[in-house]
Chain A
């Protein structure tokens, strides 16, 4: 998280830390046996990682402490079936579910996020919050969970940002921005999610109930915290049916 702050204990109880082959990623609790993350955390070079190599931690804001805990057992991995990203240029459908072997018992440090109704519209400018144990502004991996509040960015502005990046980096393969994604961030840069945060939650709060709900999944971005660039998130509201069906079927 760039430009963010340390999260006090129990303020982001849905935060999950994943470790895949030594790489760090984020995820969020959405049920007592289900965790949601980005598909690209589980599918590497076109192949699903072995569930035995995936380690799941939660319940603390300290990464070192988490890493010392016994990982939660993984029962099965369920990347979105349409996620195909062999050359890291297509993050469409970047969503996956992890089923745990044992149900969780929720407490102040571990609580689930709510899911939005199908096709909920995200208001441009609405402030959300993204969190993670990823790289922070000094390019150092965070040991403490951090968070940053970021607004939802208008889709056109986001597309323009992606287009400008393509123009500026003609040799790079900039991923495609689809309707299954949305952007969040500030044009002046400095505040963004970053590497190691992917799979974590971008949450919005419902005013009437003061409940946080999973609006996005940290997916990709051109750099981190750069001026005129935004973070790109999987639009969770597009996948409610798939999420429910996957959980029901499994």
Chain B
């Protein structure tokens, strides 16, 4: 019962009502309704032995031990004090009734006592006058009465402070995730209200970095010290992940402030004194920059940009006669993307000179290296036949060059190696004789 809410209404009656109340009685009722309500008491019947000042029998109504009324008698009786039809309103949500009777209840007309209803009556806190302690109105702007309570609200552009009763200019805070935007102190360019605790979070897509650009009109109260301004009471704190937060104040605009981060938190704080004219900034974003790829020996990086940013792609092409190599293996193609962390997702490949492999063996002939080495690109070889027993078709020597397609090709761009044709009818030793 102790934890249950008090009833919103009820009935209280003298003992044995509607029979006459006993003599020598002293009984107390502690009535209550829920907090936020006043207790209203309405008598439906009161018949207590009348006497001057209700000396013999009385029903006393108290609030916090303070006597609000003392009733006895009957309606229209000459003596006593009858409440009539007017209800009795408690200053609070409690009321105490005390019935006291003397030792006699005169015959033949015995008195019946009393019967009363009590009920909770809402308090219109908003209509109450301002407290006398000087703490200001209940709600600094708008007050809304509710059953058993009240609530405060603020006009557009303001927001309720944590005390739930006073309003302050809205910070306009929140999360800013657009690629660019403007932030300013509440009420800017008017001076900043006191008691601010505004938070602004700029959070854009990873892979982009935020640049803050404060306007020249920048003023946050500061306390001058030998070491420069001390942001003791008012400050704008710039927090960048993995970096020490930086408190800004003073009259000099920070100007352009690169953050190198895709998320920045700004906390603007003013206390209840001093003056800050406020601040404004425009933030922009740019893609994370990747280091320009180094030059490729015997190859080139495309496209060739002055700088490379997040999501840029590069390709590497080798010069003719060279092949793409990565981690010791040849690759057909190479493309790398600038990642959101500013790193290329693949390290650069190398261009190695191609080789055509060992030239095909020539039956009844051989091959001679004319220039170049290790069968590399542009190496030149020459096929020859085992003369005088074989000869190349046509009799000419044939040079082959290691081409970019890794084949040995002759001057006519033909990859087919020659054939050695047997030499017929030409003995190495001819018959000779001098006798005639």
What residues of chain A have their CB less than 8 Å away from a CB belonging to chain B? 7-14, 30-32, 105-108, 111-115, 129, 147, 203, 205-206, 210-213
| Chain A residue nearest to B424 in the complex (CB) | A114
- Residues of B at the A interface (CB closer than 8 Å) are 364, 389-390, 422-431
Instruction: Given the known inter-chain contacts A106-B390, A107-B389, A111-B389, please indicate yes or no for A212 contacting B426, CB distance below 8 A.
Output: yes
B425 touches A10 (CB 8 A): no
Instruction: Knowing A10-B429, A108-B429, A147-B431, say if A211 contacts B389 (CB, 8 Å).
Output: no
Contact of A212 among B389, B390, B425, B428 (CB under 8 A): B425
- Say yes or no: B422 contacts A106, CB within 8 Å: yes
Contact B426 A210 (CB under 8 A): yes
Quick check: A203 and B427 within 8 Å, CB to CB? no
Q: Determine the distance from Cα of A211 to Cα of B427 in the docked complex, in whole angstroms.
A: 8
Sort A-B residue pairs by CB-CB distance and give the 5 closest, nearest first.
A211-B425, A114-B424, A114-B425, A212-B425, A106-B389
CA distance A115 to B423 in the complex (A): 12
Tell me which residues across on chain A come within 8 A of B431, comparing CB atoms: 7-8, 11, 129, 147
Q: Which residues of B contact A114 (CB under 8 A)?
A: 424-425
Taking the closest CB of chain A, its distance from the CB of B344, in whole angstroms, is 58
Are B425 and A105 closer than 8 Å at their CB atoms? no
Which residues on A sit within 8 Å (CB–CB) of B425?
14, 111-114, 203, 205-206, 211-213
Task: Kindly list chain A residues whose C-beta atoms are within 8 Å of the C-beta of B390.
Answer: 106
Which chain A residue shows the least CB distance to B431? A11
Q: Which of B364, B422, B426 has the most chain A CB atoms closer than 10 A to its own CB? A: B422
Q: Tell me the minimal C-beta distance from B393 to chain A in angstroms.
A: 15
Pairs across A and B, CB under 8 Å, 5 listed = A13-B428, A32-B422, A106-B422, A112-B422, A129-B431
Query: In the complex, what distance in Å separates the CA atom of A13 from the CA atom of B423?
Result: 12
Cα–Cα, bound, A107→B364 (Å): 10
What CA separation (Å) do A30 and B427 show in the bound complex? Answer: 13
Chain B contacts for A211, CB-based, 8 A:
424-426
Separation of A108 and B429 alpha carbons in the complex (Å): 8
Using CB atoms, name the residue of chain B closest to A210: B426
Chain A residues positioned under 8 Å from B423 (CB to CB): 106, 111
Closest Cβ neighbor of A205 among chain B residues: B425
- Measured between beta carbons, the chain B residues less than 8 angstroms from A113 are 424-425
B413–chain A nearest beta-carbon distance, Å = 30
Min CB–CB distance A33 → chain B (angstroms): 11
Residues of B within 8 A of A213 (CB): 424-425
Among the listed A10, A31, A32, A105, which residue makes an inter-chain contact with B427, where contact means beta carbons less than 8 Å apart?
Answer: A10
Q: Select one of B364, B422, B429, B430 contacting A31, CB under 8 A.
A: B422
CB-CB nearest in chain B for A106: B389
Chain A nearest CB from B395 CB (Å) reads 12
* Known A111-B422, A112-B422, A203-B425: A11·B364 in contact at CB below 8 Å: no
The complex places the Cα of A10 from the Cα of B426 at a distance, in Å, of: 10
CB-CB under 8 A from B364, the residues of chain A are: 105-106
List the B side residues contacting A8 at CB < 8 Å: 429, 431
Are B422 and A11 in contact, with the CB atoms below 8 A? no
CB-CB under 8 A from A9, the residues of chain B are 429
> In the complex, A14 Cα to B427 Cα: how many Å?
9
* Min CB gap B288→A, angstroms: 69
Bound-complex Cα distance A7 to B431 (A): 8
Q: How far is the CB of B389 from chain A (nearest CB, A)?
A: 4
**Chain B residues in 8 Å Cβ range of A210:** 426, 430
Contact A112 B424 (CB under 8 A): yes
User: Which of chain A's residues have a CB closer than 8 A to the CB of B426?
Assistant: 111, 210-212
CB neighbours (8 Å) of A106 from chain B are 364, 389-390, 422-423
Q: A9, A10, A111, A147 — which one has the most chain B CB atoms within 10 A of its CB?
A: A111
Which residues of chain A are near B389, meaning CB under 8 Å? 106-108, 111
Contacts of A205 in B (CB 8 A): 425
How far apart sit A174 and B425, CA to CA, in the bound complex (Å)?
34
Alpha-carbon distance A203/B423, docked complex (angstroms)? 16
Query: Which residues in A have their C-beta under 8 angstroms from that of B430?
Result: 11, 210
A5 to chain B, nearest CB (A): 8
Neighbouring A residues of B429 by C-beta, 8 Å: 8-11, 108
* Distance between Cα atoms of A11 and B426 in the complex (Å): 9
Cα distance, A30 to B389, chains bound together (Å): 13
Taking the closest CB of chain A, its distance from the CB of B324, in whole angstroms, is 43
Distance (whole angstroms) from the CB of B420 to the closest CB of chain A:
10
Q: For the complex, give the distance between the alpha carbons of A30 and B431 in Å.
A: 20
Report Cα–Cα, A107/B429, bound state, in Å.
12
With the chains together, A189 CA to B349 CA distance in Å?
86
Q: Which has the most chain B C-beta neighbours within 10 Å: A7, A31, A112, A210?
A: A112
Q: How far is the CA of A198 from the CA of B241 in the complex (A)?
A: 106
> Closest A-chain residue to B423, C-beta based?
A111
A64 to B390, CA, bound (A): 29
For A13, A147, A205, which residue has the most chain B Cβ atoms within 10 angstroms? A13
Query: Known pairs A210-B430, A211-B425. 8 more at Cβ < 8 A?
Result: A108-B427, A108-B429, A111-B422, A111-B425, A112-B422, A114-B424, A213-B424, A213-B425
- Chain A residues closer than 8 Å to B427, beta-carbon distance: 10-13, 108, 111, 212
Please give the distance in Å from A14's CB to the nearest CB on chain B: 8
Residues on B with beta carbons closer than 8 Å to the beta carbon of A32:
422
Query: Closest B-chain residue to A129, C-beta based?
Result: B431
* Listed residue (A12, A105, A203, A205) with the most chain B CB atoms within 10 angstroms of its CB: A105
Distance of A106 from chain B, by nearest CB (Å): 4
Q: How far is the CA of A107 from the CA of B422 in the complex (A)?
A: 10
Would you give the shortest CB distance from B231 to chain A, in whole angstroms? Answer: 98
Docked Cα-Cα span, A206 to B424, in Å, equals 12
Nearest-Cβ distance from residue B348 to partner chain A, whole angstroms = 52
Minimum Cβ distance to chain B for residue A94 (Å): 22
Q: Which residues of B contact A31 (CB under 8 A)?
A: 422
Q: State the CA gap A107–B389 with chains docked (Å).
A: 6
Cα A212 to Cα B431 with chains together (Å): 12
Q: Whole-angstrom distance between the alpha carbons of A30 and B424 in the complex?
A: 8
CA A152 to CA B429, docked complex, whole Å: 24
